[in-house]
Amino acid sequence: MSKVVKFGGSSVASAAQLKKVVEIIKSDSDRKFVIVSAPGKRDASDTKVTDLLIAYYQTYKAGKSVGEVQDQIVERYAEIARELELDDEIIREIAYSLHELATLDKENRFTYDTFLAAGEDNSAKLVAAFFTKAGLPARYVSPEDAGIFVSEEPSNARLLIESYDQLNYLNELSEIVVIPGFFGVTKKGEVCTFSRGGSDITGSIVAAGVKADLYENFTDVDGIFAVNPKIIENPEAIHEVTFREMRELAYSGFSVLHDEALVPAFRAGISIVIKNTNNPDHPGTRIVLEHSENFAPVVGIASDNGFSTLNLSKYLLNREIGFGRKILLVLEEFGVRFEHMPTGIDDISVIMRDAFLGKETEKLILDKLAETLHPDVLNFEHNLSIVMLVGEGMREHIGVTARAAKALSDSNVNIRMLSQGASEYSIMFVVKSIDEEKAVQALYQTFFW
């Protein structure tokens, strides 16, 4: 049995947190592979090391003096190392690697990523040194040595599939293996990071590569909440959720796991557990392939605002071939991604994020559609929110939509659109953004109280 364990920024932010981390590893001999983030915030007003590294890069790139920001970053590590009573050697090594960044080629397109990756890289070196000192022989392994090879897409790397075969050799190492999260190397040896929060992705990749039995992701919450805690105070944590449900919950706006981190573990059939470093006895949330027992029809409610719909209506639309394609072609031309597309006999609505729109783009889209499709009704509607009721169990239950719709109508929420995909993993309600909180509260009371 082997487990890959990933610790997020707040879990490695201070000496006190790292003492919890070492106990977590000591308490289970299956925890053999450890992935770490860069030190995160110690309190709400603190700055993440990754953000300090961005400031460092910007100062360097602008040709200004970098001494102050360098000192600030070195001190974040040095303070932890001193409190853990580690050798000065490790502080010197970390300081050297951080200073060296200011000698890199400013024009190289991977330099920014190399700066950012230093946060995780030095964190892993420090953690390995601490584990060894605490009686847990550990070895730092760089992503290059581990074999995490990625595409040449700065700040948005994707794993090259052959990496999985290479990673398997990590099973032969006898020590605890500590790998920095968040980045890999290109075939040319350039450092290239995943998108922000990407240490979660590394953990999932390593779990798939070493064929682990479990991927444990330690954060600072007791798991994934069933609903946004900003809307419902102290909501329930989800005990078990499937990978498919997790995808549907992606609108939640309170996600604790990077979206892309699901895929490697899912494809390898490895469950993920989200756990709390500050409360490790709590079972957390298990993300599984299939539910283990008969589950409640609804596991969670996700919601997000900032949506608009493009509404099109044309008499006898259902007789026209290629109408949908023509609409999507226009959106593609303007670089607009869509989220959902509910249809009626003579209507199509396309739901998209406001981030892709703007007065000018909207006018161009409307003009083009009017010219090519001659619809009877054509407009954009703004200030909309999506509220998703998620649960695979609803497939086997009668009346989930009825209960949800009643809850919304009792709360005086007008449902602008409603769609239940063929998969029946979720029901989507589109409501006016001013009604979003009311809608979520009504649904939570109906399905969780």
Is 114 one of the binding residues for ligand ASP (CB under 6 A)? no
Nearer to ligand ASP, 119 or 300 (CB): 119
Nearer to ligand ASP, 12 or 24 (CB): 12
Q: Which tokens in the block code for residue 116?
A: 């950012």
The distance of closest approach from Cβ of residue 275 to ligand ASP in the complex, given in angstroms and rounded to an integer, is: 16
Is 183 one of the binding residues for ligand ASP (CB under 6 A)? no
Cα–Cα distance, 198 to 153 (Å, whole number): 14
User: For ligand ASP, which residue of 32, 48, 76, 275 counts as binding (CB under 6 A)?
Assistant: 48
The site that binds ligand ASP (CB under 6 A) totals a number of residues, namely 13
User: For ligand ASP, which residue of 10, 17, 50, 271 counts as binding (CB under 6 A)?
Assistant: 50
Cα–Cα distance, 338 to 327 (Å, whole number): 11
The stretches of 29-157 forming alpha helices (DSSP H) are 49-61, 67-83, 88-100, 111-133, 143-146
- Region near ligand ASP per CB under 6 A, out of 67-75, 77-85, 100-108, 193-201: 193-201
User: For ligand ASP, which residue of 11, 84, 98, 119 counts as binding (CB under 6 A)?
Assistant: 119
The distance of closest approach from Cβ of residue 185 to ligand ASP in the complex, given in angstroms and rounded to an integer, is: 16
- Region near ligand ASP per CB under 6 A, out of 69-77, 192-200, 239-247, 388-396: 192-200
Closest-approach residue to ligand ASP (CB)? 199
Cα–Cα distance, 415 to 279 (Å, whole number): 40
Question: Does an H or E element contain 315, and which?
Answer: none
Is 181 one of the binding residues for ligand ASP (CB under 6 A)? yes
Nearer to ligand ASP, 18 or 299 (CB): 18
What backbone torsions phi and psi does residue 210 show, to the nearest 5 degrees?
-90, 5
Residues 6 or more apart whose CB falls under 8 angstroms from that of 448 comprise: 226, 227, 235, 236, 298
Q: Cβ distance 446 to 403 under 8 Å?
A: yes
The distance of closest approach from Cβ of residue 220 to ligand ASP in the complex, given in angstroms and rounded to an integer, is: 12
Is 37 one of the binding residues for ligand ASP (CB under 6 A)? yes
Nearer to ligand ASP, 9 or 154 (CB): 9
- Region near ligand ASP per CB under 6 A, out of 197-205, 211-219, 302-310, 393-401: 197-205
Distances (CA, A) of 191 to 58, 155, 157, 326: 18, 10, 10, 41
Is 215 one of the binding residues for ligand ASP (CB under 6 A)? no
Cα–Cα distance, 114 to 182 (Å, whole number): 11
The distance of closest approach from Cβ of residue 144 to ligand ASP in the complex, given in angstroms and rounded to an integer, is: 18
Q: Which tokens in the block code for residue 422?
A: 């063929």
β pairing state of 271-276 and 285-288: antiparallel
User: For ligand ASP, which residue of 182, 218, 295, 425 counts as binding (CB under 6 A)?
Assistant: 182
The distance of closest approach from Cβ of residue 77 to ligand ASP in the complex, given in angstroms and rounded to an integer, is: 14
Is 140 one of the binding residues for ligand ASP (CB under 6 A)? no
Nearer to ligand ASP, 201 or 413 (CB): 201
Question: Residues 419-448 vs ligand ASP: string with x where CB under 6 A?
Answer: ------------------------------
- Region near ligand ASP per CB under 6 A, out of 94-102, 147-155, 190-198, 216-224: 190-198
Following DSSP, what letter does each residue of 290-305 receive, concatenated?
S-SS---S--EEEEEE
Q: Which tokens in the block code for residue 180?
A: 């920095």
Cα–Cα distance, 30 to 297 (Å, whole number): 34
The distance of closest approach from Cβ of residue 202 to ligand ASP in the complex, given in angstroms and rounded to an integer, is: 8
User: For ligand ASP, which residue of 17, 114, 163, 199 counts as binding (CB under 6 A)?
Assistant: 199
Is 196 one of the binding residues for ligand ASP (CB under 6 A)? yes
Cα–Cα distance, 208 to 4 (Å, whole number): 9
* Dihedral angle over CA of 206, 207, 210, 213, nearest 10: 170
Distances (CA, A) of 186 to 95, 160, 163: 25, 9, 11
Q: Cβ distance 295 to 286 under 8 Å?
A: no
Is 247 one of the binding residues for ligand ASP (CB under 6 A)? no
Residue numbers at the binding site for ligand ASP (CB under 6 A): 9, 37-38, 48, 50, 119, 181-182, 196-200
